[in-house]
A and B are shown apart, each in its own frame.
Chain A
Amino acid sequence: MITFLNQHGSELIIKTWEQIYISAFAIILGIIVAVPLGILLTRYDKTAKYVMSISGMLQTIPSLALLALMIPVFGIGKVPAIVALFIYSLLPILRNTYIGMKKVNANLIDAARGLGMTTMQSIFKVEIPMSMPIIMSGIRLSTVYVISWSTLASYIGAGGLGDFIFNGLNLYNPSLIIGGTIPVTILAILADYLLGIFEKKVTPKTKRSEV
């Protein structure tokens, strides 16, 4: 392992950073698009059905195929990888946002409206805070998926830890494969852990903190 680090240490750091960069970019894009879209869809139930099934269909395209399909449109490199991973991140976030918003107690929404909140106030002060745990679990799920799938992005020249794995496969070098896999796993676990902490922060309290 020390020899591996001596040989590939600096490369490992660069590849890990690429991995983080690609995944984070895709996830953030996914959040920016899917959360507002999910909220919007709760106001248009009929459209929601179609949008949900379309994004469900996109999810079923094999990941390698989707990456390959990006090449004619975006060429090779990081951009097509980010776009493909972004598409993958959409569904869990979109669906959880939609379900989370739908599951907010109708009584509370009625009370919010009856007390004189505008639709926006009701969304931001009541519905989003109440559905935060479900929205966040969608984001966490997406993040773990995207981090592990972004190893495949190496296939279309996006770089990342996938480079180690593919090189290892080509050169019959197990230490390269393991050296690429372990950091990906650690990254995924770490991201999930950090998002867990973040989730606790953004989930509104419903009880005083224990003293």
Chain B
Amino acid sequence: MQSAKEIISFQNVAKNYRGGNDAVEDINITINEGEFVCLIGTSGSGKTTTMRMINRMIEPSRGKIIFKGKNLKTFDPVRLRRTIGYVIQNNGLMPHMTIKDNITLVPKLLKWQQDKMDRKAKELIKLADLPESYLDRYPAELSGGQQQRIGVVRALAADQDIILMDEPFGALDPITRDDLQDLVKNLQEELGKTIIFVTHDMDEALKLATHIVIMDSGHVIQDDTPDNILQHPGNDFVKELLGEERLLQAQQNTLSVSDIMSKNPAKITLGQSLAEAIREMSYRHVDTLLVTDDNNKLKGFIDLETINDRYSKYSNVSDIYKPNRFKVKTTSYLRDTSERILKQGYKYVPVIDNDNNLIGIVTRASLVNIIYDAIWGKEELDNPENIKLPDTIAKESDNA
């Protein structure tokens, strides 16, 4: 899905200020095209310093940065910055310029034709989901969220393919922030922009990032995908940053199908007769049987309706079974499977191994435990007898 073309790589980069300790040290990060990278850490962790080295707002003291295959130092800083979008907290819009002049600030520096800039301004105000009439307004006449929308689209005005964002939504209210997060996620997913995003908000990072770099006191602590970080937090610092609740939830999310499947699915082999199938159904109290061949390879399924319709004409399972539309491997994540079952209305999903051998089945019933677990926590599930339902639930079930 993503081309793994490397676009920026930090090689043993360090920055120290005169007379001070190293602001950052031993930074080795590789950023691929189209990634959404979140640099996350507490204040003073060096995340902003690291980001600002990419457009040469800060020069590394040691090490080097490779940008699009060449040493970053060979790029002229001013021209480089015009090719990299830049969004800062508190939007950084010029109060004395209209929205249009703000949006076309970089194109103007690049001396674009006026009509090309006009077109770009209209295109971007649309992307920001604001009416065209706003182009003639001044930033002070817009709300904080609207201003930051302009701040974000301004970073695209000269078709920049990399965008740096320094805690861009820190000062916004939660609803506005949510909207803007969707906007930037869209830029990355639909327009294929590479985004490097500094934040201290883990929820934000987990929502947006395809690649998270956790930093603390100038060092990279962990550099991985959000899933991997949730599953294998590198150390206690990361665990603390993630918080217990998220880790528990992540565990639910990263349970594999084999953890919850029932290992003894109701099944029947191709060669058996329909009479045997019905007997098996009534014995197991199910309306559907999975069909395998003699080597336990999954072939399909057979349900009560089909048998009922065709019982008079056919006598063998092999005559009327249907192939399964959907099956999962044992190693699949449960969250994808449960979504299919719960949202798309599948009653069950057969589980197979890599050789198509039938291993088990996940049914709606097996999901109940998981959902219960997610809602009431894990410990209680270990001793189901001791579970005390909250009063409201208990009452509701009485009424029912």
Say yes or no for B86: interface residue by CB 8 A criterion.
Answer: yes
Cross-chain contact B86 with A208 (CB below 8 angstroms): no
Cross-chain contact B141 with A208 (CB below 8 angstroms): yes
Cross-chain contact A116 with B79 (CB below 8 angstroms): yes
The residues in B between 76 and 134 inclusive whose CB is less than 8 angstroms from any CB of A are: 78-83, 86, 88-90, 92-97, 105-106, 109
Cross-chain contact A204 with B96 (CB below 8 angstroms): yes
Expressed in whole angstroms, the Cα–Cα distance for A114 and B166 within the complex equals 11
Expressed in whole angstroms, the Cα–Cα distance for A129 and B138 within the complex equals 15
Say yes or no for A205: interface residue by CB 8 A criterion.
Answer: yes
Cross-chain contact B109 with A114 (CB below 8 angstroms): no
Expressed in whole angstroms, the Cα–Cα distance for A143 and B163 within the complex equals 48
Q: What B residues does A116 contact at CB under 8 A?
A: 78-83, 106, 109
The residues in A between 106 and 121 inclusive whose CB is less than 8 angstroms from any CB of B are: 107-108, 110-118, 121
Q: What A residues does B82 contact at CB under 8 A?
A: 115-116
Chief secondary structure at chain B's binding surface: mixed
Q: Nearest chain A CB to B138's CB is how many angstroms away?
A: 5
Say yes or no for B57: interface residue by CB 8 A criterion.
Answer: yes
- Contact A206:B86 (CB < 8 A) given known A113-B81, A114-B55, A116-B81: no
Contact with B along A176-187 (1 / 0, CB 8 A): 000000000000
How big is chain B's contact interface, by range? 20 to 34
Cross-chain contact A114 with B96 (CB below 8 angstroms): no
Expressed in whole angstroms, the Cα–Cα distance for A204 and B139 within the complex equals 13
Expressed in whole angstroms, the Cα–Cα distance for A115 and B57 within the complex equals 10
Q: Nearest chain A CB to B276's CB is how many angstroms away?
A: 74
Say yes or no for B378: interface residue by CB 8 A criterion.
Answer: no
Say yes or no for A24: interface residue by CB 8 A criterion.
Answer: no
Cross-chain contact B88 with A205 (CB below 8 angstroms): no
* Contact among B95, B109, B139 with A115 in the assembled complex (CB-CB below 8 Å): B109
Expressed in whole angstroms, the Cα–Cα distance for A208 and B98 within the complex equals 9
Expressed in whole angstroms, the Cα–Cα distance for A205 and B97 within the complex equals 8
The residues in B between 57 and 89 inclusive whose CB is less than 8 angstroms from any CB of A are: 57, 78-83, 86, 88-89
Say yes or no for A201: interface residue by CB 8 A criterion.
Answer: no
How big is chain A's contact interface, by range? 20 to 34
Say yes or no for A126: interface residue by CB 8 A criterion.
Answer: yes
Say yes or no for A27: interface residue by CB 8 A criterion.
Answer: no
* Contact among A111, A118, A125 with B88 in the assembled complex (CB-CB below 8 Å): A111
Expressed in whole angstroms, the Cα–Cα distance for A205 and B95 within the complex equals 8
- CB closest residue in chain A, given B80: A116
* Contact among B79, B80, B81, B138 with A206 in the assembled complex (CB-CB below 8 Å): B138
Say yes or no for A39: interface residue by CB 8 A criterion.
Answer: no
Q: What B residues does A165 contact at CB under 8 A?
A: none
Cross-chain contact B106 with A115 (CB below 8 angstroms): yes
Say yes or no for B136: interface residue by CB 8 A criterion.
Answer: yes
Cross-chain contact A205 with B86 (CB below 8 angstroms): no
Say yes or no for B137: interface residue by CB 8 A criterion.
Answer: yes
Say yes or no for A130: interface residue by CB 8 A criterion.
Answer: yes
Q: Nearest chain B CB to A85's CB is how many angstroms away?
A: 33
Cross-chain contact B81 with A115 (CB below 8 angstroms): yes
* Contact among B79, B86, B140 with A114 in the assembled complex (CB-CB below 8 Å): B86
Say yes or no for A207: interface residue by CB 8 A criterion.
Answer: yes
Expressed in whole angstroms, the Cα–Cα distance for A125 and B97 within the complex equals 10
- Contact A111:B136 (CB < 8 A) given known A116-B81, A207-B141: no
Cross-chain contact B138 with A108 (CB below 8 angstroms): no
Q: Nearest chain A CB to B236's CB is how many angstroms away?
A: 35
Cross-chain contact B95 with A206 (CB below 8 angstroms): yes
- CB closest residue in chain A, given B141: A207
Please name the 5 residue pairs, one residue from A and one from B, whose CB atoms are nearest each other, closest first: A111-B92, A204-B96, A116-B82, A116-B81, A114-B86
25 pairs of residues in contact across A and B, judged by CB atoms under 8 Å: A107-B90, A108-B95, A110-B92, A111-B88, A111-B92, A113-B81, A114-B81, A114-B88, A114-B92, A115-B86, A115-B106, A115-B109, A116-B78, A116-B79, A116-B80, A116-B83, A116-B106, A116-B109, A117-B78, A204-B97, A205-B96, A206-B138, A206-B140, A207-B140, A207-B141
